[in-house]
Structure 1
Amino acid sequence: MRIITFANHKGGVGKTTTVVNTADILSRWGKRILVVDMDPQGNSTLTLGRKDPFEHQYTIGHLLADKELSVADCAHSVNGNLDLIPSNLHAYSQLALLPPNSAKRIFGLREKLEAVRGADNGYDLVLVDCPPQIEGPLITNAVAASDVYILPVDGESLYALQGTNHLIQAIEAIREDTNSDIRLLGVLVTMYNPRTTASRLVMDAVREFFGDALFQTVIRRNTTLNKANLSQQSIFDLDPASFGCQDYQKFATEMLSRVETGQKP
């Protein structure tokens, strides 16, 4: 079981879209996938959970705050190969009730996921959707638990790299403080439009900054992806022939290759 965090300190960079669609595609390929929604906005929960985030009995807040609850207790079945640990805005208040020195603020997710590692009919991959922030118990739990992280960046924003180094340094600090082995698996450019000067400039800047860490796959801007998000569907459900679905299948293949071979950027 490999645990992959998707993180960016900015919102609107395609992080949740990437988590949801990559998880859906991998599950269709026969991989056992768990999505952990660490973002109290609950956007992954909205798409995969198929109901209001507040209607789920247990969420990530319950899992981290209650030592008696297990991953199996909190996991919502999306399909035969895909499970979801939901999230909603109550996660903030649930974690706020923990004592300041509580280990659950740092190691709660790691401990719960370690309990299912290697289990019969266990998960091949865990994909963690993080909130758009650099610090706090949610991002700390995600980093402490994960083997690798992926950084999605907005392919149309000239400010795509702004603050990125700060995020990487923050993750490195959490890694050292928690004795985690997390490392960068790669950088994914999303919402890329090769016809615009802005996208070409962003791609050049990201390639120069990250080098081999950049995934060869890019996620092109595609109206079908927007429609899928608005209708709370995966791109495969809405239009498997679309550019968006093709791009995410290529990304899923490339991501799996890096994970399985232990490729380092």
Structure 2
Amino acid sequence: MRKIAVITSKGGTGKTTTSINFGHAAAMMGKRTLMVDCDAQGSLSLAFGLNGVQGLSDLLLTDRVDIYNVRQNLFLVGSGKSDIYLVERYLVQQADLDYPLARALDRFTGVDIAILDCSPSINIVNSNVLNYVDSVLIPVSMDYFAMEGVALTLKIVDEIVNDSKRNIQILGILPTFFDSRTKISKTILGEVKEKYGDKVFESMIRINTQIKESQLYHKTIFEYAPYSYGAYDYYRFAKEALQKLSG
């Protein structure tokens, strides 16, 4: 099983939207895919109409969890009903505080890909996630503060790698909210490619209102608007990401 953290230290990058549509695209391509909502806000869970259900926080605190089959080949562990602050207190009390999540999630077998949607913050839960996954996907929106978010996220990953002696692959940096009509989108995209080179996906997610609209109806972009730019972009990205994972 390949384990991917979708993570960035900056909010508003389309992180959860990417987790949703990457997960569904991978499932449509025949990959048994597990999504895990690691964000206390529970946006990934809400996107599939699951609110207030047992999930990751309950798994860590009580060793019980419900797994939801949300689409064909697509499964979800929600963020959970337990208070995230209780979870953080629990993790701090562990002798090896960076590994409880890995032990909890290792029980899930028969899955090709696990996608973990992280919070846009530096906390002990994300540290646990990075000690579990083998790959990191960093969405980056085409705005002025984009570069800072990428740099900080890569720094955090490097620190985890150095401390744990684990090998974490940078699956790639995914440009999001690209608008070819604006100078800032073109400028930021150029700067990201110049600085990070082949770490940047060839695919990009163009700005598309139907992507946001799809979440109002608890649908992925492939269900809501299968012939939209958003569906095309996320499917193309998923193919590129899966090729990288298998290469």
Query: Is TM (by shorter chain) over 0.5?
Result: yes
Q: Which residue of 1 aligns with 2:61?
A: 65
- Deviation at residue 19 of structure 1 after TM alignment: 0.4
Q: Distance in 1 between matches of 2:170 and 2:91?
A: 31
> Do residues 153 (structure 1) and 140 (structure 2) align?
yes
> Do residues 239 (structure 1) and 225 (structure 2) align?
yes
Amino acid in the other structure paired with 1:132: P
Amino acid in the other structure paired with 2:103: E
Q: Distance in 2 between matches of 1:181 and 1:110?
A: 15
Q: Distance in 1 between matches of 2:213 and 2:149?
A: 30
Unaligned runs of 5+ in 1: none
Amino acid in the other structure paired with 2:198: D
1:105-136 per-residue CA deviation (whole Å, 9 max, x = no partner) reads 421221123333xx4xx100000100001x21
Q: Which residue of 2 aligns with 1:182?
A: 168
Q: Distance in 1 between matches of 2:165 and 2:59?
A: 22
1:166-194 per-residue CA deviation (whole Å, 9 max, x = no partner) reads 22111211223233321211000001011
Farther off after superposition, 205-214 or 227-236: 227-236
Unaligned runs of 5+ in 2: none
**Residues 180, 113 of structure 1: alpha-carbon distance in 2 compared, 3 angstrom cutoff:** farther
Q: Distance in 2 between matches of 1:175 and 1:85?
A: 26
Q: Which residue of 1 aligns with 2:10?
A: 10
Farther off after superposition, 182-191 or 225-234: 225-234
SS in 1 for 2:90: coil
**Residues 162, 89 of structure 1: alpha-carbon distance in 2 compared, 3 angstrom cutoff:** farther
> Do residues 224 (structure 1) and 220 (structure 2) align?
no
1:237-257 per-residue CA deviation (whole Å, 9 max, x = no partner) reads 101000000000000000000
Q: CA RMSD in A?
A: 1.7
* TM-score, scaled relative to structure 1: 0.88
Amino acid in the other structure paired with 1:95: V
Amino acid in the other structure paired with 2:47: T
Q: Percent identity?
A: 30
> Do residues 248 (structure 1) and 234 (structure 2) align?
yes
Farther off after superposition, 101-110 or 193-202: 101-110
**Residues 98, 235 of structure 1: alpha-carbon distance in 2 compared, 3 angstrom cutoff:** same
* TM-score, scaled relative to structure 2: 0.94
**Residues 246, 59 of structure 1: alpha-carbon distance in 2 compared, 3 angstrom cutoff:** same
Q: Which residue of 1 aligns with 2:23?
A: 23
> Do residues 208 (structure 1) and 194 (structure 2) align?
yes
- Deviation at residue 89 of structure 1 after TM alignment: 7.3
Q: Distance in 2 between matches of 1:246 and 1:140?
A: 33
1:134-188 per-residue CA deviation (whole Å, 9 max, x = no partner) reads x212101110000010110002x11111243222111211223233321211000
Q: Which residue of 2 aligns with 1:137?
A: 124
**Residues 242, 163 of structure 1: alpha-carbon distance in 2 compared, 3 angstrom cutoff:** closer
Size of the alignment, in residue pairs? 247
